[in-house]
A = this chain, B = another copy of it.
Amino acid sequence: MARNLIGIDLGGTTTKMAFLSVSGEVLTKWNIPTDISDEGSHIVPNIIESINQHITNSEFSKDDFIGIGMGTPGSVDIENGTVIGAFNLNWKKRQQVRDQIQAGIGLQFILDNDANVASLGEYWKGAGEKDADVVFVTLGTGVGGGVIAGGHLLHGVNGGAGELGHVTVQPNGYLCTCGKRGCLEQYASATGVVHVAADMAKDFMGTSRLKEMEDNQESVTSKMIFYLADNGDILANQVVDRVTFYLGLALANVANILNPANIIIGGGVSNAGNTLLQPTTRYFQENAFPAVRDSTKLRLAQLGNDAGVIGAASLALRFQKSN
Protein backbone atom coordinates (compact mmCIF):
# COMPACT_ATOMS: atom_id res chain seq x y z
CA MET A 1 0.00 0.00 0.00
CA ALA A 2 1.22 3.47 -0.90
CA ARG A 3 2.51 5.11 2.27
CA ASN A 4 4.46 8.13 1.08
CA LEU A 5 3.93 11.61 -0.31
CA ILE A 6 5.90 13.97 -2.52
CA GLY A 7 5.99 17.69 -1.78
CA ILE A 8 7.21 20.42 -4.13
CA ASP A 9 7.81 24.04 -3.08
CA LEU A 10 8.37 26.00 -6.29
CA GLY A 11 10.16 29.33 -5.83
CA GLY A 12 11.67 31.92 -8.15
CA THR A 13 15.25 30.88 -7.33
CA THR A 14 15.07 27.35 -5.94
CA THR A 15 12.66 24.45 -6.22
CA LYS A 16 12.52 22.41 -3.02
CA MET A 17 11.32 18.83 -3.14
CA ALA A 18 10.87 16.10 -0.57
CA PHE A 19 9.62 12.57 -0.01
CA LEU A 20 7.53 12.34 3.16
CA SER A 21 5.79 9.61 5.07
CA VAL A 22 2.02 9.72 5.19
CA SER A 23 2.31 11.12 8.72
CA GLY A 24 4.37 14.08 7.51
CA GLU A 25 7.90 12.98 8.42
CA VAL A 26 10.45 14.24 5.86
CA LEU A 27 12.28 11.14 4.58
CA THR A 28 14.55 12.89 2.10
CA LYS A 29 14.69 16.39 0.65
CA TRP A 30 16.65 18.13 -2.06
CA ASN A 31 16.71 21.36 -4.10
CA ILE A 32 17.24 22.22 -7.72
CA PRO A 33 17.74 25.72 -9.11
CA THR A 34 14.63 27.10 -10.81
CA ASP A 35 15.50 27.79 -14.46
CA ILE A 36 13.20 30.63 -15.46
CA SER A 37 14.73 31.13 -18.94
CA ASP A 38 12.62 30.69 -22.12
CA GLU A 39 9.45 31.91 -20.37
CA GLY A 40 9.91 29.38 -17.61
CA SER A 41 9.36 26.48 -20.01
CA HIS A 42 12.07 24.34 -18.38
CA ILE A 43 10.62 24.51 -14.89
CA VAL A 44 8.10 21.67 -15.06
CA PRO A 45 10.28 19.31 -17.18
CA ASN A 46 13.14 19.84 -14.70
CA ILE A 47 10.86 18.95 -11.79
CA ILE A 48 9.64 15.82 -13.56
CA GLU A 49 13.18 14.70 -14.36
CA SER A 50 14.43 15.35 -10.85
CA ILE A 51 11.59 13.48 -9.15
CA ASN A 52 11.76 10.51 -11.50
CA GLN A 53 15.52 10.32 -10.91
CA HIS A 54 15.11 10.47 -7.15
CA ILE A 55 12.47 7.75 -7.19
CA THR A 56 14.79 5.54 -9.27
CA ASN A 57 17.71 6.14 -6.91
CA SER A 58 15.61 5.57 -3.79
CA GLU A 59 14.44 2.46 -2.00
CA PHE A 60 10.90 3.29 -3.23
CA SER A 61 8.97 2.44 -6.34
CA LYS A 62 6.34 4.69 -7.84
CA ASP A 63 3.63 2.59 -6.21
CA ASP A 64 4.89 3.58 -2.78
CA PHE A 65 3.63 7.12 -3.34
CA ILE A 66 0.08 8.32 -2.77
CA GLY A 67 0.56 11.44 -4.88
CA ILE A 68 2.30 14.77 -5.33
CA GLY A 69 1.41 18.18 -3.95
CA MET A 70 2.95 21.48 -4.98
CA GLY A 71 3.00 25.08 -3.80
CA THR A 72 3.61 27.74 -6.43
CA PRO A 73 3.72 31.51 -6.81
CA GLY A 74 1.16 33.10 -9.11
CA SER A 75 -2.55 32.71 -9.52
CA VAL A 76 -3.59 29.08 -9.17
CA ASP A 77 -6.61 27.35 -10.72
CA ILE A 78 -6.88 24.38 -8.39
CA GLU A 79 -9.67 22.65 -10.26
CA ASN A 80 -7.83 22.68 -13.57
CA GLY A 81 -4.34 22.36 -12.13
CA THR A 82 -3.01 25.44 -13.89
CA VAL A 83 -0.99 28.52 -12.95
CA ILE A 84 -0.95 31.99 -14.51
CA GLY A 85 0.81 35.28 -13.80
CA ALA A 86 3.75 33.98 -11.76
CA PHE A 87 6.10 36.77 -12.73
CA ASN A 88 9.12 35.56 -10.77
CA LEU A 89 8.90 32.30 -12.75
CA ASN A 90 8.45 34.12 -16.08
CA TRP A 91 5.10 32.34 -16.37
CA LYS A 92 3.03 34.96 -18.11
CA LYS A 93 0.84 32.51 -20.01
CA ARG A 94 -1.34 29.81 -18.41
CA GLN A 95 0.71 26.71 -17.54
CA GLN A 96 -0.84 23.22 -17.62
CA VAL A 97 1.19 22.10 -14.63
CA ARG A 98 -0.97 19.21 -13.45
CA ASP A 99 -1.36 17.56 -16.83
CA GLN A 100 2.39 17.73 -17.50
CA ILE A 101 3.43 16.39 -14.11
CA GLN A 102 0.83 13.60 -14.02
CA ALA A 103 1.89 12.50 -17.50
CA GLY A 104 5.61 12.82 -16.76
CA ILE A 105 5.67 11.06 -13.39
CA GLY A 106 2.54 8.92 -13.38
CA LEU A 107 1.24 10.01 -9.98
CA GLN A 108 -1.80 12.07 -9.02
CA PHE A 109 -0.97 15.75 -8.59
CA ILE A 110 -2.54 18.75 -6.85
CA LEU A 111 -1.34 22.31 -6.36
CA ASP A 112 -2.14 25.46 -4.41
CA ASN A 113 -0.45 28.80 -3.89
CA ASP A 114 2.77 28.97 -1.90
CA ALA A 115 1.45 30.85 1.14
CA ASN A 116 -1.55 28.52 1.45
CA VAL A 117 0.73 25.51 1.25
CA ALA A 118 3.07 26.91 3.91
CA SER A 119 0.01 27.45 6.13
CA LEU A 120 -0.93 23.81 5.70
CA GLY A 121 2.62 22.81 6.64
CA GLU A 122 2.56 24.77 9.90
CA TYR A 123 -0.99 23.53 10.55
CA TRP A 124 -0.06 19.90 10.02
CA LYS A 125 3.37 19.60 11.57
CA GLY A 126 4.36 22.99 12.99
CA ALA A 127 3.08 25.69 15.29
CA GLY A 128 -0.54 25.12 14.29
CA GLU A 129 -0.74 21.90 16.28
CA LYS A 130 -3.63 20.76 14.13
CA ASP A 131 -6.08 23.16 15.76
CA ALA A 132 -9.05 23.37 13.44
CA ASP A 133 -8.75 27.17 13.24
CA VAL A 134 -5.33 28.52 12.35
CA VAL A 135 -4.15 31.57 10.43
CA PHE A 136 -0.65 31.86 8.96
CA VAL A 137 1.05 35.07 7.89
CA THR A 138 4.41 35.04 6.14
CA LEU A 139 6.56 38.17 6.23
CA GLY A 140 9.08 37.85 3.40
CA THR A 141 9.84 40.03 0.39
CA GLY A 142 6.06 40.37 0.33
CA VAL A 143 3.42 39.39 2.87
CA GLY A 144 1.25 36.34 2.23
CA GLY A 145 -1.01 34.21 4.33
CA GLY A 146 -3.44 31.36 4.63
CA VAL A 147 -6.59 30.75 6.64
CA ILE A 148 -7.60 27.33 7.93
CA ALA A 149 -11.09 27.39 9.42
CA GLY A 150 -12.92 24.37 10.74
CA GLY A 151 -9.98 22.26 9.50
CA HIS A 152 -10.29 23.48 5.91
CA LEU A 153 -8.03 25.81 3.94
CA LEU A 154 -10.15 28.71 2.71
CA HIS A 155 -9.88 29.96 -0.85
CA GLY A 156 -12.86 32.30 -1.13
CA VAL A 157 -14.87 32.85 -4.27
CA ASN A 158 -11.95 34.10 -6.39
CA GLY A 159 -8.93 32.56 -4.65
CA GLY A 160 -8.36 35.75 -2.64
CA ALA A 161 -8.89 34.32 0.87
CA GLY A 162 -5.85 34.53 3.12
CA GLU A 163 -4.20 37.42 1.27
CA LEU A 164 -3.31 39.08 4.54
CA GLY A 165 -0.67 41.22 2.85
CA HIS A 166 -3.42 43.33 1.36
CA VAL A 167 -5.35 44.08 4.54
CA THR A 168 -5.58 47.88 4.69
CA VAL A 169 -3.78 49.05 7.84
CA GLN A 170 -3.31 52.71 6.91
CA PRO A 171 -6.06 54.25 4.77
CA ASN A 172 -4.40 56.40 2.09
CA GLY A 173 -1.00 55.05 3.17
CA TYR A 174 1.88 53.75 1.04
CA LEU A 175 0.95 52.71 -2.50
CA CYS A 176 1.07 48.93 -2.94
CA THR A 177 1.98 46.93 -6.07
CA CYS A 178 -1.64 45.70 -6.03
CA GLY A 179 -2.78 49.23 -6.88
CA LYS A 180 -4.40 50.20 -3.62
CA ARG A 181 -2.96 52.07 -0.66
CA GLY A 182 -2.03 51.20 2.90
CA CYS A 183 -1.60 47.41 2.53
CA LEU A 184 0.08 45.56 5.42
CA GLU A 185 2.68 44.33 2.92
CA GLN A 186 3.97 47.88 2.48
CA TYR A 187 4.82 48.09 6.20
CA ALA A 188 5.58 44.58 7.45
CA SER A 189 7.39 42.86 4.58
CA ALA A 190 11.20 43.01 4.48
CA THR A 191 11.00 45.80 1.90
CA GLY A 192 8.20 47.47 3.84
CA VAL A 193 10.29 47.65 7.01
CA VAL A 194 13.12 49.25 5.02
CA HIS A 195 10.66 51.75 3.49
CA VAL A 196 9.29 52.71 6.91
CA ALA A 197 12.86 53.17 8.21
CA ALA A 198 13.88 55.41 5.30
CA ASP A 199 10.80 57.58 5.86
CA MET A 200 11.17 57.83 9.62
CA ALA A 201 14.89 58.62 9.34
CA LYS A 202 14.07 61.81 7.45
CA ASP A 203 12.31 63.32 10.45
CA PHE A 204 14.53 61.80 13.14
CA MET A 205 16.72 64.17 15.17
CA GLY A 206 19.11 62.37 17.48
CA THR A 207 21.89 59.86 17.73
CA SER A 208 21.23 56.62 15.90
CA ARG A 209 23.38 54.22 13.90
CA LEU A 210 20.35 53.59 11.66
CA LYS A 211 19.98 57.34 11.05
CA GLU A 212 23.70 57.49 10.13
CA MET A 213 23.32 54.60 7.71
CA GLU A 214 20.30 56.22 6.07
CA ASP A 215 22.07 59.58 5.82
CA ASN A 216 25.16 57.95 4.27
CA GLN A 217 22.95 56.00 1.88
CA GLU A 218 24.36 52.73 3.14
CA SER A 219 22.38 49.63 2.26
CA VAL A 220 19.90 48.89 5.06
CA THR A 221 18.05 45.58 5.46
CA SER A 222 15.11 44.56 7.61
CA LYS A 223 17.39 42.16 9.48
CA MET A 224 19.78 45.00 10.32
CA ILE A 225 16.94 47.19 11.59
CA PHE A 226 15.76 44.50 14.01
CA TYR A 227 19.38 43.87 15.07
CA LEU A 228 19.89 47.58 15.79
CA ALA A 229 16.57 47.74 17.66
CA ASP A 230 17.66 44.80 19.78
CA ASN A 231 20.82 46.73 20.61
CA GLY A 232 19.12 49.90 21.74
CA ASP A 233 19.13 52.06 18.61
CA ILE A 234 16.36 54.63 19.20
CA LEU A 235 15.30 55.14 15.59
CA ALA A 236 15.39 51.39 14.91
CA ASN A 237 13.12 50.89 17.90
CA GLN A 238 10.72 53.51 16.61
CA VAL A 239 10.64 51.74 13.26
CA VAL A 240 9.95 48.38 14.92
CA ASP A 241 7.22 50.05 16.97
CA ARG A 242 5.56 51.42 13.82
CA VAL A 243 5.86 48.13 11.93
CA THR A 244 4.55 46.01 14.79
CA PHE A 245 1.69 48.43 15.38
CA TYR A 246 0.45 47.77 11.83
CA LEU A 247 1.10 44.03 12.09
CA GLY A 248 -0.60 43.79 15.49
CA LEU A 249 -3.60 45.78 14.25
CA ALA A 250 -4.01 43.62 11.13
CA LEU A 251 -3.69 40.36 13.06
CA ALA A 252 -6.10 41.59 15.76
CA ASN A 253 -8.69 42.23 13.07
CA VAL A 254 -8.06 38.81 11.53
CA ALA A 255 -8.72 37.41 15.01
CA ASN A 256 -11.77 39.63 15.60
CA ILE A 257 -13.26 38.10 12.45
CA LEU A 258 -12.09 34.46 12.78
CA ASN A 259 -11.00 33.86 16.40
CA PRO A 260 -8.47 31.17 15.44
CA ALA A 261 -6.61 29.22 18.13
CA ASN A 262 -3.28 30.39 16.73
CA ILE A 263 -1.96 33.01 14.35
CA ILE A 264 1.44 31.86 13.17
CA ILE A 265 4.03 34.36 11.97
CA GLY A 266 6.63 33.06 9.53
CA GLY A 267 8.89 34.29 6.73
CA GLY A 268 12.30 35.98 6.86
CA VAL A 269 11.18 38.97 8.96
CA SER A 270 9.96 36.57 11.66
CA ASN A 271 13.58 35.53 12.26
CA ALA A 272 13.69 38.65 14.45
CA GLY A 273 11.93 36.42 17.00
CA ASN A 274 10.78 38.13 20.16
CA THR A 275 11.97 41.54 18.95
CA LEU A 276 9.08 41.23 16.49
CA LEU A 277 6.70 39.04 18.46
CA GLN A 278 6.55 40.95 21.73
CA PRO A 279 5.52 44.40 20.46
CA THR A 280 3.25 42.78 17.86
CA THR A 281 1.49 40.89 20.65
CA ARG A 282 1.06 44.09 22.63
CA TYR A 283 -0.66 45.88 19.71
CA PHE A 284 -2.61 42.72 18.94
CA GLN A 285 -3.99 42.65 22.47
CA GLU A 286 -4.83 46.35 22.33
CA ASN A 287 -6.95 45.81 19.22
CA ALA A 288 -8.52 42.39 19.84
CA PHE A 289 -11.75 42.28 21.83
CA PRO A 290 -11.80 40.36 25.11
CA ALA A 291 -13.16 36.93 24.03
CA VAL A 292 -10.55 36.88 21.26
CA ARG A 293 -7.69 38.42 23.25
CA ASP A 294 -8.10 35.63 25.82
CA SER A 295 -8.12 32.79 23.31
CA THR A 296 -6.21 33.58 20.11
CA LYS A 297 -2.42 33.29 20.47
CA LEU A 298 0.32 34.74 18.27
CA ARG A 299 3.18 32.30 17.70
CA LEU A 300 6.32 32.10 15.60
CA ALA A 301 6.44 29.54 12.81
CA GLN A 302 8.38 26.37 13.55
CA LEU A 303 9.12 24.68 10.23
CA GLY A 304 11.19 27.39 8.54
CA ASN A 305 11.94 26.54 4.92
CA ASP A 306 10.36 23.09 5.21
CA ALA A 307 6.82 24.44 5.67
CA GLY A 308 6.33 24.54 1.90
CA VAL A 309 7.25 20.95 1.04
CA ILE A 310 5.45 19.59 4.10
CA GLY A 311 2.26 21.54 3.40
CA ALA A 312 2.45 20.69 -0.31
CA ALA A 313 2.74 17.01 0.53
CA SER A 314 -0.29 17.28 2.82
CA LEU A 315 -2.38 18.32 -0.20
CA ALA A 316 -1.76 14.87 -1.69
CA LEU A 317 -3.32 13.16 1.34
CA ARG A 318 -6.66 13.53 -0.41
CA PHE A 319 -5.58 10.88 -2.91
CA GLN A 320 -5.12 8.41 -0.09
CA LYS A 321 -8.44 6.62 -0.40
CA SER A 322 -8.48 6.47 -4.16
CA ASN A 323 -5.15 4.63 -4.21
Contacts and interface: CB of A to CB of B under 8 A. Distances in A.
Nearest to A168: B287
Contacts of A288: 180
A69 B135 CA distance: 30
A291 to B, nearest CB: 4
A163 B287 contact: no
A256 B167 contact: yes
Nearest to A292: B160
B178 A258 contact: no
Interface stretch (A25-33, A151-159, A189-197, A270-278): A151-159
Contacts of A255: 160
B156 A133 contact: yes
Nearest to A294: B158
A255 B253 CA distance: 12
A86 interface: no
B256 A166 contact: yes
A162 B252 CA distance: 13
A260 interface: yes
A290 interface: yes
Number of copies: 2
A147 interface: yes
A171 interface: yes
A238 to B, nearest CB: 17
Contacts of A292: 156, 158, 160, 163, 166
Contacts of A260: 156-157
A232 interface: no
Interface centre among A131, A159, A253 (most CB of B within 10 A): A253
Interface string A135-178: 00000000000010110101111111111101110010000101
A156 B292 CA distance: 9
Contact of A147 (B131, B258, B287, B291): B258
B295 A256 contact: no
B256 A160 contact: yes
28 contacts: A75-B291, A131-B157, A133-B157, A133-B161, A147-B258, A149-B150, A150-B154, A154-B258, A156-B292, A157-B260, A157-B261, A158-B259, A158-B292, A160-B296, A161-B258, A163-B256, A163-B259, A164-B257, A166-B256, A167-B257, A168-B256, A178-B289, A178-B290, A179-B289, A180-B286, A180-B290, A182-B287, A183-B289
